[in-house]
Amino acid sequence: MTAGQTAAAVAALALSACALNRAPLPQTTEGDWAVQRDASTRRAFLYDGLNHRATGTATFLSPAVREARARRLGDWFGWTPAELEERLAQERAEAEKGEELVLSFYTAERADDDLDAPRSAWRVAVKLDGTDVVSSRVTAIERDATLLVLFPYIGPFDTAYRVLLPHPPAGPLAGRGFVFEIASARGKVSMDFGAPNGVITPQQPAPPP
């Protein structure tokens, strides 16, 4: 084998190795993070006849989901045990303050996508035990690489939001069935977290053909 042939073989081997290795590791579809996230995620569509008005996909950040996210970030960033424990303590403190969901929201009319506006066209609330818990704050989240890999369902035309709510009077939401509802004059986008696990649940209407 000539020197040129050897170099070509080495290059081909390197390219083959690159093609086989997937990043990041663990992948976002693997492990406890994927299990916890997907079990706590729901999606709903809003249609007006055949007109698609909006789509909402939300992940409820229960204590278990928060811990799984922290541990996954620790794997990806190579945190020390002390750094991981600091993040876990931060997550526990945030969970004690109230409830939180990560929401990916799409609207056909761009002007309708204003959940973080001082006077939004939408009312964001959790429905539970015959009462409504209205969001205390909704803020847009920067679409950085970390967010998009953690929550791969966030589409290129979606806006990502952090939704904060107080704890319901009867106690935290974890382990309880509830409906997360985004409502306006356009209609309602309702995500049923009491339904079976899965991003799209049987209770939510399928898009018309």
Q: What is the pLDDT of residue 198?
A: 57
Reported confidence tier of residue 208, pLDDT bands at 50, 70, 90 = very low
Domains and CATH numbers, the chain: 43-62+97-192 (2.60.40)
Q: What is the pLDDT of residues 52-110, one digit of tens each?
A: 999 999 999 999 999 999 999 999 999 999 999 999 999 999 999 999 999 999 999 99
DSSP 8-class letter at 207: P
Full-model pTM: 0.85
Its sign, for the CA torsion 75, 105, 127, 197, is negative
Report DSSP letters for 13-75, one per residue.
Answer: HHHHHHHH--SSSS-TTSHHHHHHHHHTEEEEEEEETTEEEEEEEEEE--HHHHHHHHHHHHH
Residue 65 sits at φ, ψ, to 5 deg, of -70, -40
d(CA 105, CA 168): 24
d(CA 93, CA 63): 10
Reported confidence tier of residue 201, pLDDT bands at 50, 70, 90 = very low
Average pLDDT for 8-18: 48
Q: What is the pLDDT of residue 23?
A: 80
Beta bridge partners of 183: 123, 188
Contact 137, 199 (CB under 8 A): no
Average pLDDT for 17-44: 85
Average pLDDT for 31-59: 94
Contact 111, 162 (CB under 8 A): no
Q: Which range, of 1-10, 77-86, 141-150, averages the lowest pLDDT? A: 1-10
Q: For all residues of the chain together, what is the average pLDDT?
A: 88
Average pLDDT for 35-57: 94
Instruction: Give how far Cα 116 sits from Cα of 19, 31, 82, 142, 186, Å.
Output: 41, 33, 35, 13, 17
- Candidates 140, 122, 128, 130; CA nearest to 193 is 128
Q: Which range, of 16-20, 158-162, 180-184, 190-194, averages the lowest pLDDT? A: 16-20
Instruction: Give how far Cα 187 sits from Cα of 14, 50, 52, 166, 190, Å.
Output: 54, 14, 11, 24, 10
pLDDT of residue 18 exceeding 80? no
> Chain centroid to CA 5: how far?
49
Q: What is the pLDDT of residue 22?
A: 73
Contact 109, 58 (CB under 8 A): no
